[in-house]
Amino acid sequence: MKRNAAFAALLLGFSVVATSTPSFADTNISIAGSTALLPLVKDASGAYQQAHSDVKISVSGGGSGTGINQVAAKAIDIGDSDITAPTHPELHDNRVAVIGFAIIVNPSVTVKNLTKKQLQDIFSEKITNWKEVGGPDQKIVVINRPRSSGTRAVFTKTIMNGIPVNESGLTEDATGTVVSVVKQTPGAISYAAFSGTHGQGLNEVSIDGVAPTDENILTGKYPVWSYEHMFTYGPPTGEVAKFIAFVAGNAELVRKDGFILLKDMKVTETDR
């Protein structure tokens, strides 16, 4: 009898805790996905939570594929991605910014410009020495991203034109790792988001004479860029919609983290 009473009290205690939790934070927003977009979403969530104490936002990475999978499974509220999600018609595409991707080369290689054709030949390993493109006599070390990476999808789409990337290159799975490996390895070449490459002391080469700058992306001259997407299951509502608008409209944070404001773009693309 006494034991039953204790059990009941325990149950009661649990239910009190359970029902009282929501009053600490009225809305929870969970976000995961692209590591390229991560810095912006993290900064924006900090600023948003400061202004709205009743909203709690949890942000994590995992990659574009993870973001799309998780939001399609309704496990999270927003899935961040560098690529579109054509196989998931139920997802609503909210574009929040534009990101450029630089071709990065180890500083020991003095080549300042590569043509699209030369890039295709390097990444399909038809060209294997820097001297073939006007550089020093040094072996080219190609560093790829994993097959499922959003960054790699953008690169193959805008540069490779359907030519398969040679898989015998090294593969590193995060922007940060790629940048540090290119920095350390003589002769290395790879590609990564501006937000990770600018100001790192790397050789960011021009493509067909066009330098990897925001200005050249706005005007449509530099080809390697994509929209950053924050996918929701169906059109966003309530605080989720407000937060997405906050991210896209926050000019200061967008620029600080190396992204380009949507409204600054002078060209548009439908399928990026």
Q: Which are the contacts of 259, defined by CB distance < 8 A and separation ≥ 6?
A: 40, 97, 98, 99, 194, 195, 228
Determine the Cα–Cα distance for residues 37 and 99; give it in Å rounded to an integer: 9
Q: For residues 100 and 150, which CB has a smaller minimum distance to other proteins in the complex? A: 150
- In 84-128 the beta strands, taken as DSSP E runs, fall at 91-92, 95-105, 113-114
Residue 103 amino acid letter: I
**Beta carbon of residue 167, minimum distance to other proteins (angstroms, whole number):** 4
**Beta carbon of residue 235, minimum distance to other proteins (angstroms, whole number):** 22
**Beta carbon of residue 129, minimum distance to other proteins (angstroms, whole number):** 11
What SS3 state is found at 225? strand
**Beta carbon of residue 184, minimum distance to other proteins (angstroms, whole number):** 7
**Beta carbon of residue 137, minimum distance to other proteins (angstroms, whole number):** 13
CA 262 remoteness from chain centre: 16
Nearest to 86 by CA among 159, 153, 37, 41: 153
Q: For residues 182 and 265, which CB has a smaller minimum distance to other proteins in the complex? A: 182
Q: Contact residues for other proteins (CB under 8 A)?
A: 62-66, 68-69, 72-73, 87, 139, 141, 146-150, 164, 167-173, 181, 184-188
Main-chain dihedrals φ then ψ at residue 234, nearest 5 degrees: 75, 170
Rg (CA), the chain: 23
Q: CA separation (Å) from 148 to 15, 23, 34, 152, 230?
A: 43, 40, 11, 8, 18
Query: Tokens at residue 63, please?
Result: 């990659």
Q: For residues 26 and 173, which CB has a smaller minimum distance to other proteins in the complex? A: 173
Query: Tokens at residue 227, please?
Result: 């929209």
Query: Tokens at residue 220, please?
Result: 């449509």
78-81 vs 27-33, strand pairing mode? parallel
**Beta carbon of residue 33, minimum distance to other proteins (angstroms, whole number):** 10
Q: For residues 188 and 217, which CB has a smaller minimum distance to other proteins in the complex? A: 188
Q: Determine whether 232 is exposed, middle or buried from the number of CB atoms within 10 Å of its CB (0-12, 13-18, 19+).
A: buried
**Beta carbon of residue 174, minimum distance to other proteins (angstroms, whole number):** 10
95-105 vs 188-193, strand pairing mode? antiparallel
Q: For residues 193 and 218, which CB has a smaller minimum distance to other proteins in the complex? A: 193
**Beta carbon of residue 55, minimum distance to other proteins (angstroms, whole number):** 27
